[in-house]
Amino acid sequence: MMRELEYIRCHGSGNRFVMIDAVRCAAALEGCDLPALARAACRLDGGTDGLLLLAGGPAEWGMRMFNPDGSEAEMCGNGIRCVARLADERYLRADRFALVSGGRSYAITREEPLAGAIPAYGVRIPVGRSSADYAGGESIGGAIPELDPALEFTYLHLGNPHLAARVGRIDMELLRRLGERVATLGGLFPRGVNVSLFRVDGRRELFVATYERGAGITESCGTAMTASSTAACLLGCCDFDADLAVRNRGGMVRCLCRRDARGALSTRLAGNATFEAEAVLRFDGGRAERLSGSERPRAAETAAYDAFRRTVAEDSPIRNHDNR
C-alpha cells in the first residue's frame, strides 16, 4: 500500500526530525508500521535523528517519537518543543498546555522568540535519580568501571534513561566508545541508555555532547542537556534556581533546575522549535521518498536560526583528544 503523508522537517537545537501531524493524517496512517516508517523517513533529506508524531486530540494531546533504528523513545526534549509548536499553531493557540509522551504529562510554555524572531518553547521535565533502566541503583558522580574505569557518572531518569559525566574537554571518540560500549552491558542497562559528556564553563554555562540510544551521536539531545544540567547542579558545579546556558554542537538551550523541600528534582528546558521545510513523502512499507516538487522551504526561518547558532558556537570547547 502506498501512503502519502505531509511532513515538516524541523529541529530543536540542531536535533533534526521528520514530523507528521498524526491527527490530520490519521486516515493515511491507519494500520501503518510506524517503526518501519521511522527507519525509512529518517533517511530523507540527508538523514534525520527521528520521526515525531503529533498525536491525540482535544482531550489529550501528545507526542510519539521514533529513533532512526525504529525504536520508540519515551521522551525527547528537543522533539517535544517542535511538536508543541505544531500543536499550538494548528490547534491550541495557548501560552500554556500539556503534552503526553511515554505515559507522562509534560507542562509546555510558549517562550519569547530567540533573537527576536526564532520560535521557542519550554518544557518542565521531572527528573528521577533511579529507575529499572539502570541496575546499579542511584549514582551521583559515581564509578561504573564496566563502562569506563576513570569517569564519574551521574544516572538520571527523565522519562528516558541518561548517564552524564563531567570532563575537562569533550572527546568525541571517547563519547562514541562509551555509546557503543553501553550496548554490550545489557545486565546494567536492559534498555540501553543515553550517554553524555559535559564541560562546565562557569556557574551558569555548560557544553554538552551526547550519544543517543537508537541514534548515535547527534548535534544535540534535549533530555541529555536537561540531565547534564541537573547533574552539574547535584555535583555542585552549577546552581539550582539559576538560568543555565547549555551550548551544544547544534546551538544553545536554557535550563532551570529546581529541587523542592522533599528533594524532588525537575528541570525546565527552553529552546528553539525551527521548521525548515514542509513536504510530502510517499511510503510503500519499506521505502520512503519525498514527492517531487512538494518541498516548501522556510528559508528565512532557517537563516535566522543559522545566524543565532553562529553567535553561540564561536567558542566551542570541543577538542578531539582525551579529556579525562
Identify the pLDDT of residue 317. 52
Q: Which of 10, 25, 42, 76 is catalytic?
A: 76
How many other CB atoms are there within 10 angstroms of residue 56's CB atom?
Answer: 17
CATH of 127-269, one of 3.40.50.300, 1.10.10.10, 3.50.50.60, 3.10.310.10: 3.10.310.10
Whole-number Å distance between alpha carbons of 137 and 175: 22
Q: Which of 10, 25, 221, 255 is catalytic?
A: 221
Q: What is the mean pLDDT of residues 29-43?
A: 98
Residue ranges per structural domain of the chain: 3-125+272-312, 127-269
Q: Is residue 82 among the annotated active site residues?
A: no
pLDDT in tens, 195-254: 999 999 999 999 999 999 999 999 999 999 999 999 999 999 999 999 999 999 999 999
Task: Check: CB of residue 143 under 8 Å from CB of residue 153.
Answer: yes
Q: What is the mean pLDDT of residues 60-78?
A: 97
Which CATH number is associated with domain 3-125+272-312?
A: 3.10.310.10
pLDDT in tens, 75-94: 999 999 999 999 999 999 99
Q: Is residue 76 among the annotated active site residues?
A: yes
Domain pair 3-125+272-312 / 127-269, same fold? yes
Whole-number Å distance between alpha carbons of 37 and 34: 5
